[in-house]
Amino acid sequence: MTRYQSAKTRGDTSTSALEAVLRAEGAAEERIRQSRRDAAAVLAAARARADTIKRRADARIARAHVSHMARIDAEIARVEAAMTPATSTEPDEREAAAFARVVARLAAELTGGSDEVGA
């Protein structure tokens, strides 16, 4: 092999090696671009999933709020009804008996008599 051929062969080898490096660099850059696209797709999917979860949670919270408000309103109505005096003007039997005992005791105290009813 002549010097010229030897230098040419080395030049061809260097050129081939340089081209191989450039091809590898290009392939690596493409893999990086693809990785970025993949990452963006994963991020978009994660954001969509997060939005779905948020909407579902908001709906559940709203339903729970409405349910609890209905329970609170019902309890308030029950308490108010229990606090409101009966609209009936007629006392029931227990009230009438208790009232009769109170009147009899009061009459006995005022007249100095026995405080026992019927005595």
Closest CA to 103 of 94, 92, 115: 115
Place of tokens 């309103």: 73
In terms of residue numbers, what domain contains 101? 89-119
94, 43: one domain = no
Q: Contact at 8 Å (CB) between 99 and 91? A: yes
**Total of domains in the chain:** 2
Please give the pLDDT value at position 119.
44
101, 46: one domain = no
pTM, full prediction: 0.47
Q: Is 108 exposed, middle or buried (0-12, 13-18, 19+ CB in 10 A)?
A: middle
- Helix (DSSP H) and strand (DSSP E) numbers for the chain: 2, 0
69, 18: one domain = yes
Spans of the chain below 70 pLDDT: 1-11, 86-91, 114-119
99, 68: one domain = no
75, 98: one domain = no
53, 97: one domain = no
